[in-house]
Amino acid sequence: MVALFTGILVAFIFSWPMALCSLFILPLMVIGGVIAAKADIASMGVTELETDDDKTDDEKDSLILAADSI
């Protein structure tokens, strides 16, 4: 967060018109990123994130073993 505010401050010091344009475009970039992330999730066929409650004991044990081996 500090880097973002520092970058905005430096941008206003050196080129305030460009900094204003960037600030106005920033929400559009965030909205575009959210739309792209949702499209990626939809294209992968993921409908819902899997939780630990959905896994069987054997799956949990295999995940623990895989994590320990790494």
Residue 65 has pLDDT above 70, yes or no: yes
CB-neighbour burial class of residue 22 (10 A; exposed 0-12, middle 13-18, buried 19+): middle
The pLDDT of residue 57? 82
The pLDDT of residue 20? 92
Q: pTM to 2 decimals? A: 0.49
Mean predicted confidence (pLDDT) in 15-31: 91
* Amino acid of residue 51: T
